[in-house]
Amino acid sequence: MRLSQVLYQRLLYATVQAMDDCPFALVNSFRNRMNRPRQPIRRKRTEVIADAVKEYIARHGLKPGDRLPQESDLIDALQASKGTIREALRGLEAQGLIQTRTGPGGGAFISDVSDDRAMELLGNYFFFKPPTIHDIYEARKALWPALITSLEGQLDETAFARLEETITYYDHAPESLDEERIQRLKELEFHLVLVDYCPNPLLAMMCRFPIRLLMSLTVCQKIYDLPYPELRQRGYRYQRRLVDALRAANMEEARCIVSEHMQAAQELMESREAMLEKAFFKASSDAGEGANRDYLALVDYASLLNDGRDSQR
């Protein structure tokens, strides 16, 4: 038994013994204090200030491009140091809510949180508990019929032109493995085009994230490293039928098609044992370029430190 456990048991025993000799009211007071709910962990001052700034934005109806009060005004109003104010603003900037500009006319300005930024923040949440291919397609099977329903009356000729243009990337057999990879991404982009026309922003976000997750995190060794014509052929046939149903405003048929499509895609992906790559989600187009120079420099630095420690032993 560890020393800390022994001391704790002795202290507990001594407390109980002392309670036997205490007046009844004092014992009850002690027990009441012990049974009180624990106080919540005190939040950092910077977090409180960041929340106050968010409330200020909401209450004053500020829009993207509007300017926050000057730093000196925030310092006076919130009775905080310059360093605390700047740290709070850096936190809001990391969330994508504001942008800071230096120089004449600079300051903190309200920013519109982009889809890419929102996707990255969601990707961070799933970093240590990544969903499986099964999880992703179960969500897609539940969401996509609702997405199709929301698109009734929303698709114009521009939308159909975008869908048709996307399909042309994979309406033929690929000539190389690189082209097959591009075709796979374009098949997923087809669904992103549909999401762009969803009038429900919450539903659009819920539908967009699984697609971006598949595009940026999935390691499909048997799909990407080996030719897989069946996946392209099935995807093309389903999406061709879907466009035709949407053009005819046959929403019931369109819902049936996407349900069949998601089920078939799930079976194909799971049969190839696709797994999610445990890497931070990057929404930008260079997500697949591998480790960047900063990462390599960090690895080299860590290696030097380890070599130095080994030499001192």
pLDDT of residue 213: 81
Contacts of the segment 254-257: beta carbons below 8 A, 24+ positions apart: 254/148, 255/145, 255/148, 255/149
pLDDT at 214: 83
Q: For residue 87, what pLDDT is reported?
A: 93
Query: Can you give the pLDDT at residue 3?
Result: 42
- Which pLDDT score, from 0 to 100, does residue 310 have? 58
Give the span between the Cα atoms of 298 and 116, in whole angstroms: 26
> What pLDDT score was predicted for residue 296?
58
Q: Assign residue 275 a region: left if phi > 0, alpha if psi is -120 to 50, beta otherwise?
A: beta
Which stretches in the chain have pLDDT values below 70? 1-41, 217-227, 273-313
Query: Please, is 72 exposed, middle or buried when counting C-beta atoms within 10 Å of its C-beta (0-12, 13-18, 19+)?
Result: exposed
In this prediction, residue 22 carries a pLDDT of: 46
Neighbours of 81 (CB within 10 A): 11
pLDDT at residue 212, rounded to an integer: 85
59 burial type by CB count under 10 A (0-12 exposed, 13-18 middle, 19+ buried): exposed
Residue 99, beta-bridge partner list: 109
Q: In this structure, what is the dihedral angle of CA atoms 264, 266, 269, 273, given to the nearest 10 degrees? A: -130
CA distance 276 to 274: 7
Here the tokens at position 194 are 């549909």
* pLDDT (0 to 100) of residue 192: 95
